[in-house]
Structures are given as C-alpha cells and as structure tokens.
Structure 1
Amino acid sequence: MDVEKTDRSSDQVEDISAEKQSSHAGNLIMPASLAALGQEEYEKVGKRATLKMDMVIMPIMVIMYVLNYLDRQNIASAKLANITTDLDLSEVEYQTTVSILFVGYILMQVPSNMIVGKIKWPGVYICAGMAAWGVISTLMAVVHNYEGLLMARFFLGFVEAIFFPGALYFLSLFYNRKQFALRTAILYSGSQLGNAFGGLFAIGILNLDGVRGLAGWRWLFLVEGVITVGLAIPFACILPNSNKKIPTLTQLECEWVQYNFAADQGQEDDSGEVTALKGFMMAVTDPKTWMLMGVLYSVSTAFPLYNHS
C-alpha cells in the first residue's frame, strides 16, 4: 500500500525545512514499508540509517582527504630533506614544481566532476583516482632530475583533482541538503588534519634517511604513496555507489535513505534530463558561481600570509 507523503517527512533526521517539504507533498509517494511504521519507529529508522551511513562513509572520506593533502604537500618536507641539493634544483625550479601541481588540478577538476556525475560507480571512480595519485607519489621517489619531478607533480595534481569535487558529489547522493552541510564540514576537516599532522608524520619518515641507500625524501614519497595505494583498494570495496545498497544498512533503512533523498530533490527534479555540457553552462552563467569563486580566491590568496609550509 502506497500513501502520499504526510507530516512525517518533516521529522526526518537533519531534514530540510517544512516549507520545502510541503511544496512537493502532493507529488511524492512514501514506500509502503515506511508508511506502515509508527511515528516513533519511523524516526528511529532514520536516525539509525544516518548513523550507519556516517560510520561507513565519513571516516573513509576524511582519511582520503588527509592522504590527498599529505601526498600534495610532502614536497615541502622533501625540501627540508635536501631534495633541492640531490636534484640540483634552483629556487625557481623548486617553486615551479610546487606550483605546477595546481595547473594539472585546474585542468582536471571540472571535467572529472562531469564524468563522476554520469557514471554508475562514483565510489570506485574516486578510489581509482586515489590509487592513481598514490602511484604517482610513489614514483616520485625515483626521480633523478628537475624534469622528472616537474612531470610527476603535474600529473599528481591532475589525478588529485578527482577527489574533492568528486567527494562532494558523492556525499550528495546519500544526504539531503541540511545533512550535506554538516558532512561537508566534517570532510573539510581532513585537509586541516593533513596540515596539522603531515609535518610530524614526515619527520618520522625522514628518520629513515640512508636506510637501504635511499635519501629521506625518497622514503617520504615512497611510504606515503604506498599507504595511499594500499588503502584505496579496500575503500573501493567498502564505499557504496548508490543509495539503493549501502553496507551495514537493512533494506528498510536503505528505503528511508532513498525517500529522504527524494523528498529533498522533489518528484519534479529533472536533473536526469540535463546533460553534462548543459549543466556546465548553467554553472558558468550563474552569477553566484563567480561570486563564490571570488570569495574562495580571496581566502586562498591570504593563505601565504600565515602558512609558510
């Protein structure tokens, strides 16, 4: 028995406003399995489903972001371990290898998100990107000149661009807008953890300097790259690829997640009819996109004033 969505939807865990919910109340149909639940039991299912998703998805996302930052910023620790001397790099060449990463990052970020929005395995796609940047980071341990380091850093940025925008899209598949805001904040903490403890972790690895005839900075790239690749494989097996089947969730809980997602989107949502190109054009012609870009640019340009790593 299917019934129309009732006031029960306004009690969803971390849900959207009642006004937004009611605008689609005449269109969205609640699954019979959820409609048969009492109010208290319905709320318990929602809380339990959300908690289980958080326990599966969020720790993995945060760890991935930590490693994303470690593999990106370990070049600074490598400088302290005399990579510039070993590779005979001038200061300009070193700074170029630092900056070239963002060229690759910019080139891949938008196309990657257009891809991840169209494939059926977004979780596997993000983890594949993680494995790729781990491999490149590992290969940086065997570079012997400026050109090799420059090329490695460019492609490192190219594949690392898959993660953050892809992770935001991935989270949006499982959480409604209010839930998504909190999870985005939790995800972003991964970058700050990488900043906070990356240097300490690097110091420990750099103590391997001279072991098996390898310089400390080579050990740094090798160890952090291998860890990244090693974790990417199980993460790809654990992360769900849709809200229809989520590890540790029962069928009833998955139905709650799907209903929670549909209530937020509304039955009138036509995202399936929007092509990647049309979506891109909608974004670049939206004034809010450029306003937010300006804010982010201002924040990013202020980083060097207090961050010298």
Structure 2
Amino acid sequence: MDDGRARLTIGDVAARPGVPVRTVRFRTDTGLVDPPARSAGGYRLYDAPAVARLDLVRTLRGLGLGLGLPAVRELLTARRSVAEVAAEHVHALDAEIRLLRVRRALLQAVAGAGTTPEEMGIVSDLAALSARERQQVVDGFVDRAFAGLPADAPGTGLAAPVRSLPAELPDEPTAEQVAAWPEPARLVADDSFAARVGEMALAGAGATPEDPEPGVDAGRVQTLGRDALARGVAPGSDAAEAMVAELLDDGRPASPGRRAAPADRLATFTDARVERYWQLLGVLDGWAPAEPSVPAVEWWIAALRARD
C-alpha cells in the first residue's frame, strides 16, 4: 500500500479493525467512501485512501458522540467540524438530562401521593415542556390571573413573584426540589386558581393576610392563632371569645360589623393553594422553609364569625 496502488479485498479491510464485512459493505454502499475498484472476478478492491476513509468513519463512530451516518457524512465532506458536532450533542444531552429529571420527579409524585389520571395528564404534558415553553405556560397563567387589573394598581406587584417560578430544576436538585417540581403544574393549569390570585390582587392594594386591617396586629394574629390551634381552642367557645375581644380592643365602639370586617378581609387574602404556591416557589429557589400562616388565619376567620 506504500505506493498508493496496492488494493485490499473487503475481507482484508474488515479484518484490520475487526469489524464485520457487512459493516464495510454498508458504509461503502451508503457513499461514505468512493466506489471501490473491482477485480476480474467482481470482488471489491480498496486502495489506501479508501481504507483510510473507512478507518476515519470507524473512529468518528467510536467517539461516543452518538453520531449517525448523516452526521459522519457531513464531517467527511467538511461541512461541519467535530467541535460543532460535539457541541450539538452536548446540547441534546442537556435536554435529555433535563427531561429525565422531570420524569423522575413525575414518578416520585405519583409514587408518593394519589394522582388522578386527569391530573397526571396535565402534569405530564407540562413537565415535558422545554424551559422556554414552561415559562410561557407560567406567563399565560399570570396574564389570566391579572387580566383587567390596572397597570398602576398596587396589587400588580404580586405578578412578578408569581411569574418567577423556575422554568428548570437546578443542575443538582435536592430530594425536596424534585418532589416539589411537578405540583405547580397543577396549579398554573387551574383556571380557578388563576381567578383566585386575580381576586386577591384586585382587592389587595398590596395587602396580605399579615396586614388584615388597620388596628389589628398581624403578629398577634399569627401568634395567638397558632397558640389557639395548639391548645385546641374551638372558635365560638368562651376562650375564643375572650381572644377575639382582646384582639379587637382598640378603643373603638362595638358595632354589628366590627367582627365581620376583619373576618372578611382575612378571608379575602387567605387561600391554602396560594400559600402552597409560595411554599413550592421557596423550595425550588432554595429558600429557608417558613411556617404556614393559613391555618392560624383560618382559625381567626372562624372565631370572628362564630358569634357575629
């Protein structure tokens, strides 16, 4: 072969790297090498350039890049470099890894809690979206929730944090983040949830359950409400009534709506699903967990309305 005129049979070519004859024949027939010469008996005879090209094909296929024959053909014709192909495969592997993470999270959610077929379909569809598509779903939810709200309304400040739900899991997610990943899909797909967020934003003027009414101490609402729950104090009981009287004792005269007003305002800004959304956002963003506020507020709503 040193003089460039020597020829090898297809069997000799296959024996050198130890590949099947049918592989050499297939790569020849698909045009990865120029058509070989033929012997008098019709056997294929490969010259040095053809053998070298077949060796290069074998090397490219063995790089671990998952190169198909079309990609190899583009490399051989210098339409793309190995670096370009490698970068393309890195991108594809990243997408595959992300999808595998999401599928794992989905399976954990199904294994850990009862999920209806309808919910499973919603979560599965949303979980398989790309990061860009998932962000579009979240943006659509925000648009529905805040539709009709004036742009300068204080309640629109809620839109930015609601929209900030991560579009992808972290590269090294914790078990808690993996478990939390599918659940927001149920929430953002629920029109009633979007309507509830919009209602809170429209009525809120920036208020929250922690600011139920001027003159009512938000810290005491939480502290006393949690204490009442821990002690098993029933709304409407004498003990609860004493707490209500203490909470509302601000020097103002009693009136028929004195208890109803703070109860209604607390109810406007209290929703377990909305709080759950913030909790999930915190888990996915790696925030320190916060104690739920809704149970304590719900106790106060019931206590304020019990004898009104």
TM-score normalised by structure 2 residue count: 0.23
> RCO (CA 8 Å, sep 6+): is it higher in 1 or 2?
1
Q: Which has the larger radius of gyration?
A: 2
Per the normalisation by structure 1, the TM-score is 0.23
Structure (1/2) with the larger helix percentage: 1
